[in-house]
Structure 1
Amino acid sequence: MFVRLQMIPAQDAMKTWRAIFLHAILFLFFFQLITEFVAAIYAFGLLGTGIPPEMGFVLLFFSPLFLLLVRQPRPRLLLALLFIVLLARIAEPMLTTRGRLILSGVGVAAWLMLFPILLWRASRRANGDGARIFTAALLLATLASILLRTGGSGVDASTMGWGQMIGVGFALIAGWLGWKSRLGAEWELEGEKSRRGVAGMVLGLMAGMTLIYFAFAAPYVMARWTGMDGFWVLLILLVSWSVWGWIWGWGKRTWHHALLHAAGLLFALMLFLAINLFIPPFPNTPDGYPFAADAAEAPITFAWIPFLLMLLLSPVLFAGLYRQFGAILARGPSLRQLAAAFVLASAFLLTAIFAHVFTTTYDYIPVIGPWFRNRFDWVHLVVGIIFVAGVIMAGRGPRAAFNPAYRPLAVLVPLLAMIILTLHYLTTPGLQPLSSKDTLTILTYNIQQGYSADGQKNYPGQLHVMQTLQADIIGLQETDAARIANGNDDIVRYFTNQLGMYSYYGPNTVAGTFGIALLSRYPILQAQTYYLYSEGEQVAAIDALVDVGDVGMRVLVTHLGNGGPMIQQQQFLELVGGRPRRTVALGDFNFRPDTPQYALTTQTLLDSWTVRWPDWRNDQGQEPRDKIDHIFISPDLRVLDARYYAEGPSDHPAITAVIGR
């Protein structure tokens, strides 16, 4: 069914697209600022493994309270808030972690005041086109976020190096568009209308945007939930959005309201199941460990069905947001009512963020923390249900005549989708198996989720370490950055692509573990994740077979819990077996050489460091008797060299061993 068409001059079409692009940049900046804000707060907790005093900055989420004091906003207030958002986005990537925390927090606070004013202003205009502008802008902002993260190999390309100029360019464009849109001119506004149900719909609106922030603006995050290749996640997601964008751009009615409600509920359920089926049912007693991850999950063909359906149904996010935008604007609430609604919505957003983060930091959160263990799926379900409730409250949605100015969306969305898929292909290195060598350089490196010893985000510095050492096989620990606590950055993909190596991600992010990953210049023939018993944060181990030429090399990678619990090391050694051959076991074991765990391990394996340097002191005068990062080898392997590279780029040293075959 086609909706009623409205003929408009080219000048009005340009005005419409200026508004769309301006709001798209503002939505993109919101997702980027809140991502950096939450990650910076978490970074301070990471340094102290506790609740940091910087947590107090979360009060900036309640900035809409100030709008309760404003009876009639003037254009100068809107321009001031716009300037703060743009300036914060330009400057924050260039600062230290503390500077990023403060400036991105101020940017988020300004945005949470700016957005209600923009909604209030749009609700007073007579043309009734605001819902389409906001929805189209949000769709384009989400696609822009995906494009930047794809171009950056899992990391937002506009926050690193020369890529920061992209953010500067977007800010300058937004400033120009704001000027061309006459945001600073006096407003001619209609009066107030009905205000019923606005708070509930604003809450639903924020829930939809929260889901985009949690996952859909960074689809590699969802790929790490299940282990599905990121290309297929992008393909399915972008095809479904392109189809919806084409239909919606041509003015066709995409969802009858009852169908939209049903699709929304099904989407929320599939989102829950897409995560739930990949959370292993961890045994409560040690005798159930170690166990293989795949053995604990539903059959892979069944487990992926809800995930695929969730991706296919994801356009319901934008269709539902369109309904909510339209219903809010049609009611024409006062600014104070919108401010009160956004105080509630901001409190919900903050609560959802805390809940999301607690699913991995439960061991460090007193009293309530343990309840969030293995509740990652429930967090998303609650947010999804609140979004759908807001859609239901919105009713049948906007009734305005269709504006032909939106037809370019039918082409623009598929075009952006093709660019994103092309970027994914171009940033994925084409790998050729290497010829067999007589020696292998092994590296173990705890990267502290991409932060340096002094708490600064340091992906390039850590990459430089790996490039300099030219290791053939790398075991990484604390790689679980593909979630909001670490900025939704897929750093395993980033390092894999930059180094041109094969990789195995290890435990998926929904299991709440220390992240571990295996990178190799040689093909990884087999790889399996095993979970070890843990009373605190869940831990795991990778057991893989690497094809190093004419023979295979068995490689195990792990990160044990605090203190390297004996039960975990016993279970790890159970995986190793009694008489290992051609085996390397590496990682952050969290125990020192003077512990019973170390003594137990060296009954089966050899410490590569003491094989090369029997008296512990190397030819550089280093004597790391307190190290907790180790490379153990089976007795049949020869150690030609072993090196210790001090902390700095990470809070852990880089440890290497050169193995002769």
Structure 2
Amino acid sequence: MAPRKDGDVVFSFNASYISWVHTIVAYAAFLGALVVGVSLHYHKIVQNEHYGYPDEWFPSVSSTIGDRYPERSVFMVFIAITSGPRFALVTLWYFLTRRPNSNLPAIVAATGLVRTLTCGGWTYVTSTDDHNWHDIFMISYLVFTLPWTLGCLALSPPNAKAVKYRKALASLFFGTLVPMIYFFIQHKVHKVAGAYTIYAFFEWALILFDVAFDAVTALDFQTFELVVKDVNGASRGDNKLLKDSIKEKERDNFLIQTATFDGPYYWPAMLDATADILHGFFFWSTLTSLGVVIWYFPLWSMGLSGYEGLVMCPATPALLGIPAVRSLVIKNLRWLHMASMVGLLAWLVKEPTARLFTVSFAVMAGCTAWSAEWYAERRNPARLQKKILAWSIGLILSSIAKFANHTNNPVWPIVNSENGGWNKTGVVVAILAVWRSTRPDTTSGGEYVPLHSKKGSSLLAGLGLGGLFFTMHSLLSDSSTMISWVWEGFPVRGPIAVPHGAIVILAMSAGAFLGVALPGFFGSWTAFGLGAVGAALLTCYSHWTGFYGGLMLAFYTMGVAPVLISSAVQHGPVSTFGFGYFIYNLMVLFHCWVVAYAFVPGGPFFREHTDWIMITTMLLIGAGVFSALTTNSGSQTRSKSKSRGRQQSTYHLHVLLVLQLLAASIAYLRFPPYAYTPYHAEEKLMTAGIWTVHFSLDNDDWSSERRMRDAIKELELDVVGLLESDLQRIIMGNRDTTQYIAEDLGMYVDYGPGPNKHTWGAALLSKFPIVNSTHHLTPSPVGELAPAIEATLDVYGTLVDVFVFHSGQEEDPEDRRLQSEYMSEIMGATPRPAILLSYLVTKPGEGNYNNYVSEQSGMHDIDRRDWDRWCEYILYKDIKRVGYARVSRGTITDTEIQAGKFVVGEPVSYSDERVSEDQVAPGRRFPALFRGEGVRGHRYHVFDEPWYYA
């Protein structure tokens, strides 16, 4: 090319060619691998863990590009060639969109570079090489795709054709994710034939849309020439971008102003927002730990212990009614907040009583400090809004932390370095975050707002706060709580904790975001009506319908929080925060008594009335809304103050966006593989056990799921029933032990009747697929509701029914009789081989035992000569029993483990004649690890060795 007169350019070409080369080579990488793969290995690449051709007839992207030679090599070569144009494309986009005093183009460019590097990660580390790292790079790529896409849309130059294509392709890309995930779950969870083929089509469409979105840059790069000379001056930053036009038209729209944030990015302000949110996170971590450290005491005393009175600790903001105390607290807020962090040090206190008092002090300090801080900012709407938002997002971060840590908060006082705790890290981060968050604010926070001329009722405002605090804690402090409410067993007909916990977090975050953007809507009766409908659906329906109601309630609760708190601060702190926390405490007791009615005064009156709890909760929130409508209507906050408050909150909302990406990443990484293998498949052996786990708190008040995992793994249990396993209440920490054990050991899990069914819980974990399961609430006219699970397992191709059952207490003989008759009937009704894993509260050969082991039930005792039993029993029918053992509990719980070994496909004998261990095949023996002194307190006991049968 001849040199140009205006610069003696030796060589130049239009920059749009960069986009075209990138597009062509990227498509060649994927489509080339597809053509080669289909030509050479068609039947192999359409095969998955469940089906092959002809049920599945189109390969997924991952099986095409990563599993076999030479298609993998074709893909890698072309994707390597793509990297050059890719880096050039990202760089040119930065030069095109950069402007003075704006950091957004640099942020988008950095996102594009990281996204490109993660693409190289999942390309060159295939799932065959290292499945974990392949997944990490893949989910990182998808996570960075969101800000890259939105950033490119926001920075689009005023090219109508390019903008139209970008909007269409971005909509197609994100719209494709929904059906793709749906069909992946149909394949992975429901094992639907052909679902993976449909998933594959959406997966390939995702690739096509992703590459096409970046191809649109060819329309914008026509203004560039290389050697890079900008012939039109588009890179000087003088031209308006698409986002500038939108911002001018939507000056009062907070959603638009936040999404198109402009100007220099103040990283200290971002650090402040992060510190504020972490401060809120540590408050919620301490508050949510109080119930679980209290629960230890009535749990071990089997009744009221006296320590339950400490549940009233959060009501200490009532002390702010004393002027001297209020003044002292407001002047020393930093130190009171710092004092509340002592709750994070409680894990160092080994003695449970002292640990409880440590946490109680921290909760009192934290509740008082936050209430006083909100009250102190009642004349500064901007700062008040920022602090409320940080507190609310802190709850979301707490839920995400539990989502990542299998429903245990990693800084709780019941965890330590041995059972999943990050306590030391938490303490260091807390001190730094709280110190920064509580330093004197140098900004005015907006114009001073005078005293309101109109106020609603302070008592109604307090009632509203009580309902708000209770809803946030009882339903939103863990992403799996509402999912457990609507779970009804297999086949899966609704949400599961992973990945749908991320959707709960998304609904909470959307509510928090829109609560700032649309306070008028969330303070209206219309929004309250939507929240009430959600509460009704969650309470009355199961599966997806109930879950959608839960999402509505989560969305509304987070959105109404700023409205109720902003209204409450205009009244005295005693009648609002003090009274509000008192009402919250009563609701905590109410919500415990509906299931613990046998142990508390007046308990039978509240028996099984979760519906009363939900109605009361919504009435409380409604009272707060009624007060807020009057109080907030009297607020003549100037628009300048509102605008400044929203601008200060922008950084908090950016952190909130990052948290959504984090939650999505956790959901992806935790998604179960559903490819589980029994311990001794070669023997067609099933080892089944029963264990009453005492709510996953050990003798010293530590969370015990990791030690439980070790015992179950070392005993090689393929199927295990867990009793006293429902932890989805405030007093138990809103936890789910089965998530950790099932994921770590590779087992299917049926949580059993949910917390809204008012039982102490029964769960089933199985290495074998659970074909179907039914939850039973057995007859309990007087005492506690007795739960049962009836599950059909696919055991080496043979359907076997497994029953997990917890009968009523000794004090209720009529209940236990009715329950024995009920269970006898449903066990006798099954024509399949069956096993009962149970807690029966009876002596062998006496009373109700003869209903369970009877001609009607068809069940036989695993060994009727074992006379030393009272609670746990294993019964069976029509399946060969080859072994039986009793293993001591150690210090994990108050009940031993009982285990039986069964073989399918061999003649059944009900003789109790025993044989010596050397007559049993090695694969059918119990582990020798538990002989003698055993390991970690677990050993064969009562008869000191396993029993074997011919």
TM-score by length of 1: 0.84
CA contact (8 A) 1:545 1:554 kept: yes
Deviations 1:526-567 (A, max 9, x none): 111122101211112111111121312221110001137122
Paired residues for 1:335-354 under 5 Å = 337-354=572-589
Distance in 2, matches of 1:579 and 1:230, equals 30
Which of 647, 652, 659 aligns to 1:416? It is 659
CA contact (8 A) 1:443 1:473 kept: yes
Deviations 1:58-95 (A, max 9, x none): 34344234333333236663233212211222324764
Amino acid of the structure 2 residue aligned with 1:605: M
CA contact (8 A) 2:690 2:720 kept: yes
CA contact (8 A) 2:334 2:439 kept: no
Aligned to 1:138: 391
1:445 Cα offset (Å): 0.5
Which of 667, 678, 687 aligns to 1:441? It is 687
Structure 2 residue matching 1:440: 3-state secondary structure? strand
Distance in 1, matches of 2:315 and 2:512, equals 34
Amino acid of the structure 2 residue aligned with 1:356: H
Distance in 1, matches of 2:521 and 2:797, equals 62
1:254 Cα offset (Å): 2.5
Distance in 2, matches of 1:489 and 1:16, equals 35
Aligned to 1:283: none
Which of 360, 377, 380 aligns to 1:122? It is 377
CA contact (8 A) 1:246 1:411 kept: no
Aligned to 2:345: 90
Amino acid of the structure 2 residue aligned with 1:263: A
Cα distance change of structure 1 residues 260 and 657 upon mapping to structure 2, 3 Å threshold: same
1:476 Cα offset (Å): 0.7
Structure 1 residue matching 2:596: 3-state secondary structure? helix
Paired residues for 1:358-437 under 5 Å = 358-366=593-601, 368-395=602-629, 396=632, 399=637, 400-403=641-644, 404-434=647-677, 435=681, 437=683
Over aligned residue pairs, what C-alpha RMSD do you find? Answer: 3.2
Amino acid of the structure 2 residue aligned with 1:85: S
Amino acid of the structure 2 residue aligned with 1:230: A
1:24 Cα offset (Å): 2.8
1:235 Cα offset (Å): 4.4
Structure 2 residue matching 1:633: 3-state secondary structure? strand
Aligned to 1:186: none
1:230 aligns with 2:230: no
Structure 1 residue matching 2:594: 3-state secondary structure? helix
Distance in 2, matches of 1:237 and 1:433, equals 28
Aligned to 1:78: 333
Distance in 1, matches of 2:441 and 2:453, equals 28
Cα distance change of structure 1 residues 190 and 420 upon mapping to structure 2, 3 Å threshold: closer
CA contact (8 A) 2:512 2:558 kept: no
CA contact (8 A) 2:334 2:435 kept: no
CA contact (8 A) 2:460 2:626 kept: no
Amino acid of the structure 1 residue aligned with 2:578: V
1:312 aligns with 2:547: no
Deviations 1:472-514 (A, max 9, x none): 1111111111111211001122221222211111112101013
Structure 2 residue matching 1:596: 3-state secondary structure? coil
Which of 109, 133, 141 aligns to 2:364? It is 109
1:592 Cα offset (Å): 2.3
CA contact (8 A) 1:199 1:338 kept: no
Amino acid of the structure 1 residue aligned with 2:752: G
Distance in 2, matches of 1:202 and 1:13, equals 37
Paired residues for 1:117-516 under 5 Å = 117-125=372-380, 128-159=381-412, 160-162=415-417, 163-178=422-437, 180-181=439-440, 196-197=455-456, 198-227=458-487, 228-231=495-498, 233-243=500-510, 253-254=517-518, 256-257=520-521, 260-277=524-541, 304-305=544-545, 307-312=547-552, 314-329=554-569, 331=570, 333=571, 337-366=572-601, 368-395=602-629, 396=632, 399=637, 400-403=641-644, 404-434=647-677, 435=681, 437-453=683-699, 456-516=702-762
TM-score by length of 2: 0.60
Deviations 1:82-129 (A, max 9, x none): 12211222324764432332111111111222122202321254xx31
Structure 1 residue matching 2:328: 3-state secondary structure? coil
Structure 1 residue matching 2:472: 3-state secondary structure? helix
For structure 1, which segment, 481-490 or 91-100, has the greater mean C-alpha deviation from structure 2 after superposition?
Answer: 91-100
Which of 868, 871, 880 aligns to 1:625? It is 868
Larger RCO (CA within 8 A; separation ≥ 6): 1
Structure 2 residue matching 1:158: 3-state secondary structure? coil
Q: How many residues align?
A: 611
For structure 1, which segment, 163-172 or 417-426, has the greater mean C-alpha deviation from structure 2 after superposition?
Answer: 163-172
Cα distance change of structure 1 residues 518 and 436 upon mapping to structure 2, 3 Å threshold: farther
Amino acid of the structure 1 residue aligned with 2:764: L
CA contact (8 A) 2:725 2:763 kept: yes
Q: Specify every segment of 5 or more residues in structure 2 that has no aligned partner in the other structure, as ranges.
A: 1-249, 443-447, 488-494, 905-950
Structure 1 residue matching 2:424: 3-state secondary structure? helix
Please tell me whether Structure 1 or Structure 2 has the larger radius of gyration of its CA atoms: 2
1:350 Cα offset (Å): 0.9
CA contact (8 A) 1:609 1:657 kept: no
Distance in 1, matches of 2:710 and 2:784, equals 30
1:17 Cα offset (Å): 5.1
For structure 1, which segment, 304-313 or 386-395, has the greater mean C-alpha deviation from structure 2 after superposition?
Answer: 304-313
CA contact (8 A) 1:516 1:559 kept: yes
Identity %: 19
Distance in 2, matches of 1:84 and 1:361, equals 34
Distance in 2, matches of 1:243 and 1:116, equals 24
Distance in 2, matches of 1:64 and 1:495, equals 40
Cα distance change of structure 1 residues 427 and 568 upon mapping to structure 2, 3 Å threshold: same
